[in-house]
A and B are shown apart, each in its own frame.
Chain A
Amino acid sequence: MEASGGDVRDRQLLRAHLAGDPDAFGALAHRHSARLFAVAMRTLGDREEAADAVQDALIRAFRKADTFRGEARVSTWLHRIVINACLDRARRQAVRRTVPLPEHEPADTRDALVDRERTLDVQAALAGLPSEQRVAIVLVDLQGMPVAEAAAVLGVPAGTIKSRCSRGRARLSLTLGHLARNPDRHGGVEQTSGEIDNGHGKAGG
């Protein structure tokens, strides 16, 4: 594992924390909190739950910092703890699959409304995936994490991440199939009418 400049700084902060610097872990948390929150938010679909999960995870990292072996990036280690906290919360509390409104309400134009509706549709479809597929898609497709790093976060082979992503996208294609028939966004996708089912329960079994 090659340490980037950011990771070098992260390791310095973690070492300082272990050496008793009372501010070091706070600085480390600040460097990553926004990204960790985004992962938690996309995994759980609820702002409060996501904030709680990040808090739980960072407290755990704070207390277990001496267990970090240095084999992965600090950010990978933090992501792993956050994902585990999210999955724990999802399992324990049967998280309500709410779909939050965007932070800033879009202007009341037709295009904006269509965009907003699509965002909500995709978020809802994502929330309906099995958790392991959802987490893989969140990390790779939404957070832009390389497959190898996502594999390190989740502790599984890279091939498993690819498989989870493709299986998750296959299920999303059933749910979101209707979107492909109206490819007026992001350049759209060439699509023959009727090729994509509307996705309501076609994949039985």
Chain B
Amino acid sequence: MSAEFSDAELDLLADVLAGEAAEADVARVHASARLAQGLIEFGRADAAVRSELAALAEVRIEPPAGLDARLRAALAEFDAPRRPRVRQLAAVRVARAARTGEPWLLRAVASVAGLIVLAGIGIAVTQGSSENELDAVASGPQQASPLAAEVPARATGRDYARPGAVAQALPFLLADGNKSGADAALSGGSTDPPAPQFQVPLRLPAAPQFPAAPDRPSSSTGGSSTGSAFGTTGGSTGSFGSPGDAAVPGRVETLSAVTLNRLRNPTARQACFTALGLEPATMPEALDFARYAGQPALMIVLGVPDEPAALTVFVVGPTCGQGTGALLFSGQFDRP
């Protein structure tokens, strides 16, 4: 090159050479002897460069021998079991109503009647059963399951009724590495966290399975999170009522002796997922055998299909999936 050019001049000459420059720029190049000479030289060099690039294009690039197998293996990681379908609870209810054709008032009356019957059964069971006996009745023999082995579970004993507790716990629950005390949760040990409150008989909300929940349990609001506590009187997102508070009206003692060990059983968890409107084979991202307002509770953390930055969290009581109101909290959170 017989002259030096700035980057801007280089771009100008290239654009003129490609026929992509404005008329004024073309005129400017031709008005300058230095730029005009540069244009000629670049034109010649451009042909040489194209020739070199053409030669490089002929060099065949073979993919690594195992690339396809590696890709298959990587894609298998994301097969259906890892992509839970969180069905919209409102949609499930609407679809169910459409199928049955039942008026909502009739269904509501039937639900209340059912709950009264269940409450009666619950009291009777409480009076006559030990925890272990009821556990055995509820979930049958504890069996090792491939599903159980794959679920990352912890048993923190954390109380998720405290405001902000769920969001604070998510980074820890989703982190790899040490899961001390947690792996035991699904591998045969007791899942009940070592909290003294566990000695207190359960008082679970006597509300319907999805009591007075908003159509969508919650929605993510840009960097924050929202959730809904069920079985509380206030109904405010920020008001996490205590299901264990006997003074709260509308609650009855029911199935009080059921322990969280029941949800160690994959079959029981699948029934719980079904009750939550999830696919039975849903694979959670994390489980935490913890507490809610002092009572044993299982926190279930799920990915949200097509929203990789979001997580759905359910906190359920030990009776989840058994037909009584066990949904204590649900919400959508930003993935940490």
Contact = CB atoms under 8 A, between A and B. Distances in A.
Contacts of A163: 14-15, 18, 20
A167 interface: yes
Contacts of B7: 203, 205
A190 B51 CA distance: 12
Contact of A191 (B8, B9, B48, B75): B48
B80 A186 contact: no
Interface in A161-205: 162-163, 165-167, 169-174, 176-177, 179-180, 183, 185-191, 194-197, 199, 202-205
B215 interface: no
Contact of B52 (A47, A167, A176): A176
| Best-buried of A34, A169, A172 by chain B (most CB within 10 Å) | A169
Interface stretch (A4-12, A74-82, A83-91, A138-146): A138-146
B67 A59 contact: no
Interface SS, B side: helix
Interface in B1-45: 1-2, 4-11, 13-15, 17-20, 41-42, 44-45
Contacts of B2: 194-195, 197
Interface string B71-104: 1101101111001000000000000000000000
Contacts, number: 179
A203 B70 contact: no
Contacts of B11: 167, 170
A12 to B, nearest CB: 18
A96 B200 CA distance: 61
Contacts of A155: none
A119 interface: yes
Contacts of A183: 48
B60 A103 contact: yes
Given A47-B64, A141-B50, A177 B57 contact: no
A152 interface: no
Nearest to A22: B79
Contact of A141 (B20, B54, B78): B54
Contact of B55 (A122, A195, A202): A122
Interface SS, A side: helix
B56 A196 contact: no
Contact of B50 (A22, A169, A171): A169
Contacts of A70: none
B128 interface: no
Interface of A: 20, 22, 25-26, 29-30, 33-34, 37-38, 41-42, 47, 51, 54-55, 58-59, 62-64, 66-67, 102-103, 118-119, 122-123, 126, 137, 141-144, 159, 162-163, 165-167, 169-174, 176-177, 179-180, 183, 185-191, 194-197, 199, 202-205
30 contacts: A22-B80, A29-B72, A30-B68, A34-B62, A34-B63, A37-B61, A37-B64, A37-B67, A38-B63, A42-B61, A58-B75, A59-B78, A63-B83, A66-B306, A119-B55, A122-B52, A122-B55, A144-B57, A166-B15, A166-B17, A173-B42, A173-B48, A177-B1, A180-B49, A189-B44, A196-B41, A196-B48, A197-B1, A202-B4, A204-B6
Top 9 closest A-B pairs, CB basis? A205-B6, A173-B45, A166-B18, A197-B1, A180-B48, A170-B14, A37-B63, A166-B14, A189-B48
